[in-house]
Structure 1
Amino acid sequence: MYNGQSFSDLIYQFYSMRIQFGYYTEGDTLPPIETLSRDFRVSTLTVKTALKQLRDEGYIITCGGKATKVNTSHADPASAVRFLSARMDRFADFYPANEMIFSSLLTESFRLMEEKDFTCLLELADRLAADYLMRFYSFALQKLNNSLVMNLLWESSLYQGLPFLKAKRSSELYDLNKIRRSLKNLIRSGKEKDFQAVHSDFLNFQRTNRKHLVQFYAEQTVPVPKEEQTPFVWHIYRERPEICYSLASHILHQIYLGHYHETHFLPSYEKMAELYGVSVSTARRTIRLLCQLGAAQSINGKGTRIFSMEESWLPMDCGIPSIRRSLAFFIQALELVKYTCRDVSQTFLKKLTRQSKNALLQVLEHDLTFDRSELTLLHIVKYIAEYHPCAGIREIYFKLFELMLWGYPIMTGLKESDSQRKCVEYAEMIIHTLKTNDFLSCADAIGQLAVWKFSAADDALCRCGFDFEAYRLLPSIQLM
């Protein structure tokens, strides 16, 4: 359970938009506080804070000991039109990214299913409506036990406006009988462990639904200028200060892949504050965070020393909540890359220009020459975030790249010969297949590297005393 102002704001946004979009009719009530607490996986205090804001602004009416009623006078049908119109042009880019990522994730979740899980999915398929399709995805993806995955599902659903669509309008959106048959075929393939069929069927299922959804939205929107269109943004840092952590991610990037990797000391607090446009106190907190992570060390009278990849890293302080949370984000981001990078890499490699391909090869070969092959996967994720033809993938992989940086003080500290040999083997395989334009084999090699990297990172965290289950306990919305 999680208690935080940002999560109460999220619940407020969820229900205020549902009311504005006309999801509720006169006489409708909200679920009890205990139900909302369970559904959003937050404390009852967080739910009460959100309900108080809704009541203060007139969205709901509460009476002691009675159900919370919706004030439908706040319904504004034009708000739905404005919301969808501002995204309509962006959906053409967003949906392919969504399909690519979630087909891979849903296939992985089916690998973990037991008979009782498939029984629950069949029940959801039989009760299908707009809400229950979201719940079907949510239930399946919970098997991955990765809160970043659930967060991505939540943000993707919010961007499309799916939680705000009234269930009784499902027949306008979908052919429900056809969808039920498709979902039951998916479940049947999952029970038979035909995961290749599961993946292709999920992809086709999403593409079919996309056509219906785009057509439904197109009938209800008005033209909006391109510059006023709202792009998809993956909001991950809802529960912690963004400036300090974003700056720390940027500096980690500069330490391992940028101009700091050839220096021994970071600039002074004052120079860093001026360089990055932040306060001196923010710069100081950021450096303290890097020191706690083991990536740097403050030395009295000299400044902040950076540890190179060739040096032994300092032990991190896993007892600090912010460090544990950052490492949790790292390992879950790496896991998400493990699940999705093969499909994403295929589309990325096929669309690479000759210039971009040569630039990537140059970086990978440089790392191989100077014994920095442990950065191969990080560089590939970075290039995907910069050059993938789909803006939605660029957004998702840029956030994953930032989160992966938090674990590289650990990964660069792995000096075992077997670990270094594995890094070199995968780097050589990726470089060779990229040079020969064997993109399918190259994507397979990248996927194998991600699987091995996740296992190595998990082992490294365990050796540091980081509890295996601890990084699974980040807050996430379950949509149930």
Structure 2
Amino acid sequence: MEPNIELQQVIYSILKIQIQFGVYQHGDRLPTIKEACRIFQVSTRSIRAAYQNLQKEGFITISQKVGVKVKVQYSTTENERYVQSFFSCRKDALIDLSRSMQPLFSKAQWLGFQNASPELLDNMEQFIQIKGIHPSNRMIQHLQQVYGSLHNDMLMRLVWQVLMFYQAPFMSIKETAEITHPKENPLLRMIGLCREKNWMQLQEDVETFQAQMATVLDGFYETRACLPPAEQQIDFYWSGYRKTSQKCYSLVIELLTDVVRGTYPVGAFLPSAEKLAKEKNVSVSTIRRTLSMLNCIGAMKSINGIGTQVLPPEQIAQCCDFTQPFIRSRLLDYVQSLQTLTLSCKEVAQITIASINRTTAELFKKRLCALRYLQHYELTGYGVLDLLSYFAPYKTIRTVYTELFQQLLWGYPLKSIHKKQDVMETFYLPCLNYLLDCLGRCDAAGFAAKLEEFMLYELDNVAELLNEVGFKESETPFLSKR
């Protein structure tokens, strides 16, 4: 079995930055494979693959006698040059990301602490108290353990990307580590609050720590960064897939989006594989694999000699084989994305509604009124999430929400078995009307709270639907731990 390519690359990138920044210097020993597994909470295969890449690039040497040692020799001046260059090229993205942390992650981190077992809390506390471990590595394990307790792989892939792009490099600067980790370790305090079940104070501490990190980053750019921002800035990027090379998945989402928007209505035939390949700038074989996936999830049916036809909603579930591993994996992507959105939608909606102008507020109203006119009340929350992916005040949030929203289309096979008619008038319509009322009153807090209520209700519905198609509760533990 191949190591997780994504984790391998993340670990490689973090260790490379730590060497370039001077956390590990010439002749220093890196953690053993066993120690690194404990820090990163990953398999030995992923660690070994990352170390082999570092060795291949000339950063380290590996031997059975002395272990893993830093080979390159950087002067203090060179270390500083790497620090300055790294943050110069990422200033815009890092400041934006630091300000997005609280709305995107505070609820998830808070809930992760609540879900942590007493044994996990003990392990976290013991690791914090071990001497000689760099603060950046302490943070890596802490985030892995806290978010890992939610059992949401989609969320964890996002956490890894943020770690690699922002937190691990920033915590690898000596001054930053000292400021954000004073004598009274905030993580120890959070663990203590968990044991006391003081959830209100814990939430405040989580948000305070995230705000503190953003403030320290602002201070870094004001007083420590010497180079002006690079003209060519590096943006924050994230893909919800384990491997960024899974082009077919992206094409499936593109074509499903076209179906939902009416570009290809029910009963219509898609262009030929050759024409689609030319339009999408991919090979015909890639298009054929994509069409096979669309057939597999019940969205379309390929007819020999005729073409690939869009199926009506009532036939989707009948044509979808829910026992297929591909289907089950993509449905997990769907529900994990749904949970990740639910955990952050209240905070994201509140700052978005509070920041939009009158024209954008009218666009929100227009979208909700259209859903009411078409009597698609059950799509209210999804319509709002789509708008948030365009109008959230921070680019990082827009990037993350766009990716998560697209992942929701993997829930397409469940479309025809939604049983919500009995609650259309009693729950969905009142939610829609309340959101419209909040927009009229400029009530951002009320709007955000109602959106979260809607999404939590959706999670309950999804749990029931997955049970209907044969998913065991053990396969989706995150649904019962929100």
Alpha-carbon separation, structure 1, partners of 2:264 and 2:347:
33
Which of the residues 434, 441, 446 maps onto 1:441?
Answer: 446
**Unaligned 5+ runs, structure 2:** none
Residue 22 of structure 2: SS of its match in structure 1?
Answer: coil
- Correspondence for 2:243: 239
**C-alpha offsets along residues 125-160 of structure 1, whole Å, 9 cap, x if unaligned?**
556934323433332222211122222222112112
Alpha-carbon separation, structure 2, partners of 1:455 and 1:6:
31
Relative contact order: is structure 1 or structure 2 higher (C-alpha 8 Å, sep ≥ 6)? 1
CA contact (8 A) 1:17 1:164 kept: no
2:132 matched to 1:129? no
2:97 matched to 1:91? no
- Correspondence for 1:365: 369
Q: What letter matches 1:455 in structure 2?
A: D
Distance 1:97 1:258, change over 3 A: farther
State, as a whole percentage, how many aligned pairs show the same letter: 27
Alpha-carbon separation, structure 1, partners of 2:149 and 2:406:
25
Residue 73 of structure 2: SS of its match in structure 1?
Answer: helix
Q: State which drifts further: 240-249 or 410-419.
A: 410-419
Q: What letter matches 2:238 in structure 1?
A: W
- Correspondence for 1:250: 254
Distance 1:152 1:444, change over 3 A: same
Q: What letter matches 2:394 in structure 1?
A: C
Residue 149 of structure 2: SS of its match in structure 1?
Answer: helix
What aligned pairs does 1:322-471 form with structure 2 within 5 A after superposition? 322-418=326-422, 420-421=424-425, 422-470=427-475
Q: What letter matches 1:444 in structure 2?
A: A
Q: TM-score, normalised by structure 1?
A: 0.87
Alpha-carbon separation, structure 2, partners of 1:33 and 1:335:
33
**Unaligned 5+ runs, structure 1:** 474-480
Alpha-carbon deviation of 1:332?
0.7
Q: State which drifts further: 344-353 or 305-314.
A: 305-314
What aligned pairs does 1:241-320 form with structure 2 within 5 A after superposition? 241-261=245-265, 264-309=268-313, 313-320=317-324
Which of the residues 148, 155, 159 maps onto 1:153?
Answer: 159
Q: State which drifts further: 58-67 or 91-100.
A: 58-67
Residue 305 of structure 1: SS of its match in structure 2?
Answer: strand
Q: TM-score, normalised by structure 2?
A: 0.86
Alpha-carbon separation, structure 2, partners of 1:5 and 1:110:
28
- Correspondence for 2:60: 60
Alpha-carbon separation, structure 1, partners of 2:125 and 2:53:
38
Alpha-carbon separation, structure 1, partners of 2:52 and 2:190:
42
Distance 1:387 1:150, change over 3 A: same
Q: State which drifts further: 254-263 or 98-107.
A: 254-263
Which of the residues 199, 202, 226 maps onto 1:198?
Answer: 202
CA contact (8 A) 1:98 1:392 kept: no
Alpha-carbon deviation of 1:121?
4.5
- Correspondence for 1:14: 14
How many residues get paired? 471
Distance 1:57 1:93, change over 3 A: closer
- Correspondence for 2:325: 321
Root-mean-square deviation (Å): 3.0
CA contact (8 A) 2:84 2:227 kept: no
